[in-house]
Structure 1
Amino acid sequence: MTVDRRGFLTGAATAAGIATVAATAGPGWAEPAPAPIITKLPFPDTAALRILVTGDAGTGARPQWAVADAARALHGEQPFSFALGLGDNVYEQGPWSDDDAQFSAKFEDPNHDLDFPWIMVQGNHDNSSILPGDGGWLLRGDHEVAYHARSPRWFMPSRYYTVPIGALVEFFVLDLNPIAAYLPPLFAPYWAADGQFMTEQAAWLDRALDESTAKWKIVCTHHPYLSNGSHGNAGQYEGLSISPIDGTHVKDFFEAHVLGRAQFLLSGHDHCLQVLEPTGATKGTRQIGSGAAAKTNSGAHATDPARITPSLYENFTDLGFMVLDLTQSSADLTVYTVDPSTAQPTNAFQRRLA
């Protein structure tokens, strides 16, 4: 089904109040239960890490399998330490329970033999309500947190969390869905931009970044701060100026709590591959977008010069993923595109970023 995204979002801005009033007392807007403390497989604490970076993968369709086949080929040649999954893990509307068969069809089966931990991020499609990707049923994402206890590979102990790996790197995984939803929780104070969930997440992030002693600090989100893809920059999402669905609160969150405090911001959401240049606005933080692990933008991208950020590499037509190699002295990024008919990876870009 093809949906006119801009038309839907304009209508959603009008309908959001109705939808949230109806749902305020329902499960979509309730407060989540505290996440249990679960022991998982340890992440490798080595002098060098090789990290598979994917996003927007969870379709279960042939393109996802082709990308996973390409990753398997590389893993056989030079093993990955672990992977990052940057959200939209279960298309199109997210899981219905923590034992939903979609977890097998859209994660376990396509990623067979990629047997290492996967650091997972919540996406808007993982929290769908009325229409796919509207982000309107926030507790749906809690099924993905609960799946953490069922899978030896899927790592999501909470909706937001850190993964420190020795003195080398610390990953800060965020959940910005409450302030990026196309059906925002306008009448659910817990999920509001200034509500308990986002306030506690901001305080946690500030403290975690301040206390981190890692060489590399990497923030992982689904929604980007900057994107030359069709979704666009935070504060201008979808080319709209209708708050809050234009991502105004997302922009404010990044600017208050992330930019200038981490070297890299990794995001999905746009189904493309982007390595953007740091700008004055990002205070030295580099935005990287990897969201082409199952779908592409079909060439769609920003055309307004005011919305375009200078890039080292961008690709809006090909499937693909990235590989981040970290040592104490270097951060090297490689972008691979994937031919969906042959599942062959092609090294499309390689650069030492720091």
Structure 2
Amino acid sequence: MGTQGDRSAVSRRMVLAGVGGAGAAAVLGAGGAAAQPARGTEGGVDKLPIPDKAELTLLLTGDAGTGEDGQWKVADAARAVCARRGVDLAIGLGDNIYENGPESATDDEFQSKFERPNTGIDVPWLMVLGNHDTSGIIPGSGGWPSRGDHEVAYHAHSARWYMPGRYYSVAVPGGAAEPVAEFFALDTTPLSSYVLQTDPRYYWDGPFAREQRAWLTESLAASRARWKFVFAHHPLRNNGTHRNAGEYEGVTCGDYLSGKHVKELYEQVVVGNAEFILSGHDHTLQILDTGADHRGTQQIVCGAAAKTKGRADKPSNKAFWEAYDTLGFMLLTINAQQVVVDAYTVDPGTGEHTHAYRHTRTDRLPAPAGAVS
């Protein structure tokens, strides 16, 4: 199922009336069907199962965890779309618990900023850490990485929340000789915090960074999945105001704020070895080009699940489609032949959602030597 490294719509009124928690509604499978494989128990919690199928629909959201009106509007819209189309899996791209991350594995913010807003979307949510999940005195600084351990520990407390480690992989279907997809989760915040790291374990060149890089290198090389997705909070390419890795916030020097080591990790390990990088961080929606200059690795930014943000003054990346100053989410339909990305915008005022764009990718990277074809 996964490998671990370091360690119709339900309304808000119904949720607030007490229909909360995972399992309150029927699990939404393909076509809205409730039938699913048997659940697994972990840490005393009945976990929702990773899908065991060769075609799946995946909900993609990022930067969601405010608990405020914007998050609810997007969650309501996503729930309606998922009820209509079916959904098998979800990915949360970090900044799960604003503003500083949880204070414990049982912090009530997990309920107010994840469980209750997402009631009814009862599938496994593959989660990664963002800078707001690992902060101390300065909100969003990313300067307290060990705080992310609370979100890893929450994996044992929630049916939906899936974060068995700070980095991990999940193949679908699990155990297949050639899975249709494999998802590789990363923690990029120690490489791109807004402040210098003080814990030696999380220095940009410390033990954690070295272990994660070695794991990712080995795991990508070993994967026989038809489509490989690397997902993390921070993007490699980005036309939003945070800009590209290596020049985050317009800064090009230093080991942290610029994100130059995120750039190195992506360009040296991921580019040319995975078809997609999925990221949040910028509160925008972007489907960038298929990466001719990046050996076929395509960047998708989906960080508008609660907040909005504008476009960079001088964007540098070719895009199939972009949306700024609007909320939204995406649905990915994945099978052996193609990956279809459907982008939905959500009006920040009314909460009305619109199917805004569809992108289809059929070209995949060359299979590694020895792969089953």
Do they superpose with TM above 0.5? Answer: yes
How well do the aligned residues superpose, as a CA RMSD in angstroms? Answer: 1.6
Corresponding residue for residue 327 of structure 2: 319
- Residue 145 of structure 2 corresponds to residue 138 of structure 1: yes
Cα distance in structure 2, aligned partners of 1:156 and 1:213 = 22
Corresponding residue for residue 294 of structure 2: 282
- Residue 192 of structure 2 corresponds to residue 180 of structure 1: yes
Q: Could you list the runs of 5+ residues in structure 2 that have no partner in the other structure?
A: 8-41, 174-178, 363-373
Counterpart AA for 2:284: C
Distance change >3 Å, CA 94–CA 188, structure 1 → 2: closer
Corresponding residue for residue 303 of structure 1: 313
Corresponding residue for residue 106 of structure 2: 99
Deviations 1:240-276 (A, max 9, x none): 1231211111111111111110000000000000001
Deviations 1:208-247 (A, max 9, x none): 1111111110000100001000000000000112312111
- Listed as ranges, the matches of 1:63-212 within 5 Å are 63-166=70-173, 167-185=179-197, 187-212=198-223
- Residue 364 of structure 2 corresponds to residue 353 of structure 1: no
- Listed as ranges, the matches of 1:257-276 within 5 Å are 257-276=269-288
Distance change >3 Å, CA 225–CA 340, structure 1 → 2: same
Q: Which runs of 4+ in 1 moved over 3 A?
A: 37-41, 278-281
Deviations 1:260-311 (A, max 9, x none): 10000000000000001134542210000000000000xx22222xx51010
Corresponding residue for residue 28 of structure 2: none
Corresponding residue for residue 294 of structure 1: 306
How many corresponding residue pairs? Answer: 316
Residue number among 248, 259, 262 corresponding to 1:247 in the alignment: 259
Alpha-carbon shift at residue 344 of structure 1 (Å): 2.4
Cα distance in structure 2, aligned partners of 1:272 and 1:79 = 24
Alpha-carbon shift at residue 193 of structure 1 (Å): 2.2
SS of the aligned residue for 2:120 comes to coil
SS of the aligned residue for 1:148 comes to helix
SS of the aligned residue for 1:314 comes to strand
Cα distance in structure 1, aligned partners of 2:83 and 2:292 = 40
Cα distance in structure 2, aligned partners of 1:134 and 1:157 = 24
Cα distance in structure 1, aligned partners of 2:109 and 2:204 = 31
SS of the aligned residue for 2:156 comes to coil
- Residue 221 of structure 2 corresponds to residue 221 of structure 1: no
Calculate percent identity across the aligned residue pairs: 49
SS of the aligned residue for 2:119 comes to coil
Alpha-carbon shift at residue 205 of structure 1 (Å): 0.6
Counterpart AA for 2:298: R
100-109 vs 191-200, which deviates more? 191-200
Deviations 1:149-185 (A, max 9, x none): 0000000000000011121100000001111111121
2:332–2:339 Cα contact (<8 Å) kept: yes
Cα distance in structure 1, aligned partners of 2:81 and 2:293 = 36
User: TM-score, with normalisation over the residues of structure 2?
Assistant: 0.82
Corresponding residue for residue 60 of structure 2: 53
77-86 vs 240-249, which deviates more? 240-249
Distance change >3 Å, CA 216–CA 270, structure 1 → 2: same
User: TM-score, with normalisation over the residues of structure 1?
Assistant: 0.86
Q: Could you list the runs of 5+ residues in structure 1 that have no partner in the other structure?
A: 1-32
Cα distance in structure 1, aligned partners of 2:192 and 2:121 = 31
